[in-house]
Amino acid sequence: MRCFRPPSRNPRNLVDNRNPQLRLEFRDSSKLQLSRIMGPNDANIVGNVHGGIILKMIEEAGCIVSTRHCNTQNGDRCLAVLVRVEKTEFLSPVFIGEVTHVTAEITYTSKHSLEVQVKVMAENVLTGALKLANKAALWYVPCSLQNVDKILEVPPIKYTSAEQEKEGRTRYDAQKLERLETKARIEEVVPLLPNPEDRPKEKHTVCFSQSSLIHLVGPSDCTLHDYVQGGVTMKLMDEVAGIVAARHCNTNIVTASVDAINFHRKIKKGCVLTVTGRLTFVSNKSMEIEVFVDAASLVEAEKGRYRAVSAYFTFISLDKYNRPLPVTPLKLDGEEEQRREEEGKARYLQRKAKRLAEKERQIASAANQSETPAPTV
């Protein structure tokens, strides 16, 4: 993976003492670009890059740009920790051999947190064609390297206008409120199906496709604090959601979008993660899957298991030509599944309304630009 930094007026150069010819320039601390070619290990059996790989790259870019920005001031050194991912859209599939360019930019800072907007472009290196693959917004907080529980202040960024700062503040308040609402309902225990023999025989039910992954957190999963990187967790969540979707429709499936991922509590090295996914709602061509991450210390079992992360993933079913397929309806059993299905349908309709509103806004914006008269020479 290569790292590029855009130009700035005030570069701060670091010279490699072993070779003065090598010079690393840290320019604008609020922007970053990472590039990487996609290989076979990044894709599923039909050549589509896993959504979890893209999510991990998005989080890596966000972590780097946030950490660099927060360390531009004097005082304690810190590491930016992911606390929330806003809705992530998978706009185009990425394939083996394409180069992904991940661009991250800090768009808002509060006293103790910062918002990073990320775009992923996929490049066909044979033709040079580019396509927008993903968009996401992430929120980070800077944690002191000396004391992980100490949240440091964030250096403010310069806004191009008062309107830009106002819009950022609106997004900050909205995500803060939603995090508080989510936190109040995360403690529900998800029943596990430990043995394959216990799996219900009736297909297209919630219990039939419900799946879990068990993962022991090792050093390679962790940050400098010995806590799990957000991208590692998101990759595991995407994998279990993909298993649920595949079990339900028995076809090729891809991640279409991810609703807000909330990181409720930190996960330390040595914990055992139980990542569980279950279907909540199925439309004609999409599936909503609720995913939980529960953590428990391997050596301190008396502390018990706790809910660490939660999110909703949306998957679609594809044929061999990557065209959307109809999805078999979900068979519900009991009032609880019915309640979750109704809530999922409400989220589905809300997402659909937002997409239509955004499309109309883009059309209106394009129309206004076309009507603007060209400057006379």
Mean pLDDT, 10 residues at a time, the chain of 377 residues:
44 41 51 93 86 94 95 90 90 93 96 96 94 95 91 93 93 86 62 56 90 94 90 95 94 90 92 95 95 91 86 92 91 92 92 82 75 59
pLDDT given at position 89: 87
pLDDT given at position 371: 67
pLDDT given at position 217: 95
Q: Are 179 and 84 in contact (CB under 8 A)?
A: yes
- Distance, in Å, from the CA atom of 247 to the CA atom of 208, rounded to the nearest integer, reads 8
SS3 208: helix
pLDDT given at position 375: 58
The catalytic residues are: 44, 238
Write out the E strands in the chain. Answer: 2-4, 12-15, 23-26, 31-37, 78-85, 88-90, 99-109, 114-123, 130-144, 211-216, 252-258, 261-263, 271-282, 287-297, 306-318
pTM for the full predicted model: 0.81
Which phi and psi angles does 91 have, rounded to 5°?
A: -85, -35
pLDDT given at position 183: 66
Q: Are 294 and 307 in contact (CB under 8 A)?
A: yes
pLDDT given at position 25: 41
